[in-house]
Chain A
Amino acid sequence: MAFSRPSYETRQAIEEIVLTAAAFLDEKRFLDWAELFADDAQYEMLFKSKELRDIDDYVMQFNKEELVSRMKLLPNYVIDTAKRLHAVSNIKIEVDEDRAACTSRFTVYRTLEDGTTSLYAVGSNDDALVQRAGHWLFLKRRVVLDTRKLEAHTHMPLQ
């Protein structure tokens, strides 16, 4: 495939889905977030393990069905009560007809009940997107965390 720079409209549409995904997580609209993924999509979150010779150390791996199932279960869990803010930056996009490749950087902040805010996690997104029925959807989202030592654990995807 020959990827190239997107048109202004395409760039806007793809940026829109990337930023909407972050906004849905901010708002804990987990099922809406999962619906941004195509039916044959894959989601993975991992970090490069310094302790284990830089292997890809996967911490979440879901197909679409599993992703939806996890999002449905989330309200049943005792989840982190902190408010999370998911900021996305450095978005780069290339397209090839109905396919797109998008990379971005992310920062997640946590604000506790008492109003204290801390930096929680940083990393990058490596996304493959597909256009179906006129809408761009995630076909694969690979979330690579730089942060390996967490302040609190998470049932929730970080991106």
Chain B
Amino acid sequence: MELPLGAVAPEKVPNLPPSHFVDTRIYTDAGIFAEERIKIFAKVWNFVCHESEIASAGSFRTATVAGYPLVVVRQNDGGIKAFYNICRHRQAQVVRACSGQAKSFQCFYHLWTYGIDGRLVGVTLPEGYAGTGFDKADYGLREVRVDSVAGMVFVCLSDETESLREFLGEVAPVLEKYAPPEGFEVFHFHQAEIKTNWKLFFENNSERYHQALHWVTRSTGTWGKTSLPDGWTFTRNGHNYKPFEGARYGGEHVNVGLDERREHILPGHKPNSTASHHLFPDLLLVSQTTVLRIDHLIPLEPGRTLIEWRALGIKGEDPAIRAKRIKHHNQYWGYGGVQLPEDITATESQWPMMATGAVRYSVIAREGDTFSDEPLRHYYKEWSRRMARPYWDPFNEVSIAR
């Protein structure tokens, strides 16, 4: 007879400081997943797109934040507005394309029409509303807070949350330092639904210990065992960053299949380097000297995550230079790059094992070197603060067991 999942008693609580292990139910529990939407995603600033994706007046991108459908639109005055993508009449989806150019938005169902500024400008057969008190001015698209830093557009569903700059804190000027004067431009976008919890992919990018996956028996990693200086910076609200690690591309490591990166270097970067910025809760910015990659995680279910990958070059650059950047992106972190598929395979292998409940506690106890788990502990400290649940004891059981 098969035992139902969760029927196995948990193992002994680790003999570690509580902050140094994770109860894996924070990845698998459906109640916690639902709570994350309310306590985290509906409260924080969420990345939705890069400004270059909505470059001209009327250009738009749709997005989903905390399960809510949104549309982000460039305005005639150059500003950006964001709205719930829901018709105020009978709640049909207003904008059905993922991107495009619009002079107005018309709901396909009863043809109510909205300006790009969200105002309701047209109602089909308006005489039917005469004498009912109906006023078009009351039925514009519901607006959402929107702001941008370093060309990255964020929205916030809560009116009570601090400003975007306050939320990003000292990371904001760091990101601005890297932005070229001409601005970045997205040249690649793809997405995949991966079968794991969203936080596990964030972790994968936030710790370097997993370089073992890429270099122990093979040569697909760009970091050797000794090429990593320390230098993580941990900031308020759970963000962290790590600039300028030496990486190996080309040269003696040409067998890795990567070109040297000494030309067309992004502002603020060194040749053959990499820099990582990890923004709580769901945004990862990783540069590979010549290309900036943005990973955005969109939780779908406890064990299912939509990830959007963007790659960026410099706006208006020479096509030959852009072609180099595209090649560099594809060599390493693209749809068919050398490393991204391995990271996904690793994180997808974790979740179904965690979901069995056979091993409850996950170890994040490394200290003091480049391969420290401190980035994970810093991240989960913020998660715990917002969720009002310790990540090592989300159901308040460990203290009893001890």
Contact = CB atoms under 8 A, between A and B. Distances in A.
A150 B335 contact: yes
A133 interface: no
B257 A51 contact: no
Interface string B314-346: 000000000000110010001111101110111
A99 B335 CA distance: 31
Contacts of B327: 61
Contacts of A52: 53, 99, 186-189
Interface stretch (B213-221, B228-236, B265-273, B289-297): B213-221
Given A49-B189, A153-B335, A79 B341 contact: yes
A60 B188 CA distance: 12
B99 A59 contact: no
Contacts of A20: none
Contacts of B257: 66, 69-70, 73
A154 B336 contact: yes
A80 B334 contact: no
A12 interface: no
Contacts, number: 96
A59 to B, nearest CB: 4
Interface in A67-109: 69-70, 73, 76-80
The number of chain B residues touching the other chain, given as a range, is: 20 to 34
A61 B326 contact: yes
Interface in A44-73: 45, 47, 49-53, 55, 57-61, 66, 69-70, 73
Contacts of B64: none
B191 interface: yes
The number of chain A residues touching the other chain, given as a range, is: 20 to 34
B345 A78 contact: yes
Given A73-B220, A150-B335, A53 B99 contact: yes
Contact of A153 (B188, B213, B341): B341
B19 to A, nearest CB: 30
Contact of A78 (B191, B192, B337, B342): B342
A53 B190 CA distance: 13
A90 B191 CA distance: 28
A59 B186 contact: no
A59 B220 contact: no
A70 B257 CA distance: 7
A153 B338 CA distance: 10
A153 B192 contact: yes
B336 A77 contact: no
Contacts of B330: 58-61
A58 B187 CA distance: 9
Contact of A59 (B213, B255, B335, B342): B335
A1 interface: no
Contacts of B218: 76-77
18 contacts: A49-B189, A50-B97, A52-B99, A59-B330, A60-B334, A60-B335, A73-B338, A76-B218, A77-B220, A78-B341, A78-B345, A78-B346, A150-B335, A152-B192, A153-B335, A153-B336, A154-B335, A155-B341
Given A58-B188, A78-B345, 4 more contacts: A52-B189, A73-B338, A148-B190, A155-B341
Query: Which 3 pairs, one residue from A and one from B, show the smallest C-beta to C-beta distance?
Result: A153-B341, A59-B335, A76-B218
